[in-house]
Structure 1
Amino acid sequence: MRVLQIILALIAVLVVLGDAYVRLAPLPSDRFHRQTAPQAAGDYPSKGGIVAVRDVSDPKAQMVALDKIIRASARTRVLNGSVATGHISYVTRSALWGFPDITNLYVGKDTQAGSGTLTISGHLVFGAFDLGVNAARIKGWLDEAGL
């Protein structure tokens, strides 16, 4: 019985330490504030996230609208960047464990005068699979913004 109590105590300590690591691990801006290679409009899912590219008539205005939606999301904060620079990185943490997901929102090169692309990419920081969480979050934001 005593051995079982020790094992359970060790498991509890490991769970607390793992949670502390996930919540307190540094998220260096130079590692996560990045843009993907330019892509055509569309959705590009991966096992750890998604890249969504939209052709828009006014990329900066659409970025402002999407930024407001993202900032209003639960457990989301800005990691780096601004609308003025045309690139913002956000961190969104899961409710239970606080796992961080990184989202980058940025304006692409003008495809024609007054138009361009808006790219939003999201990916996990820890693990191999995000179970579709980033895709669902990003598609929700895009739907709310009418994109």
Structure 2
Amino acid sequence: MKPVLEVRDLMVTYPPRRGAAPARAVDGVNLQVRQGEIVALVGESGCGKSTLARALVGLVKPTGGQVLGDGEPLGYSAAALKAYRRHTQLVLQDPGGALNPRQNVFDAVAEGPRLHGLTDRLGERVHAALARAGLRPPEE
């Protein structure tokens, strides 16, 4: 089975600040994720986890290497990123910042499809996603 997400020798280097040398945040990362797999990035603070995650969704453009979605190199135009982000999302490590406590689960799950204009049969989409995640019964 081919990877749905692949990273080849990814590098992200930030320009120098206040006379310091450039900061190499990600250095030569290789990664493959196949359909149905879950990947967690674990490491000490400042090791590049968030920068790598941002590069995977196109929020940070790598200074070297490649990100491929379904075998195709990630494009960085607004249209290419919008299409890519319909299938790839970033989950922040701070649940307080990632989830709105005033929002119910249905609306939290529906937010992505709404942002991408996928509002036809939205209820069915959300219920199916909740069922796939093992949250049953989804109507609760």
Q: Where is the strand percentage greater, Structure 1 or Structure 2?
A: 1
TM-score range, shorter chain: under 0.3
Q: Which has the larger radius of gyration?
A: 1
Q: Which has the higher contact order (CA 8 A, sep 6+)?
A: 1
TM-score by length of 2: 0.23
Q: Where is the helix percentage greater, Structure 1 or Structure 2?
A: 1
TM-score by length of 1: 0.22
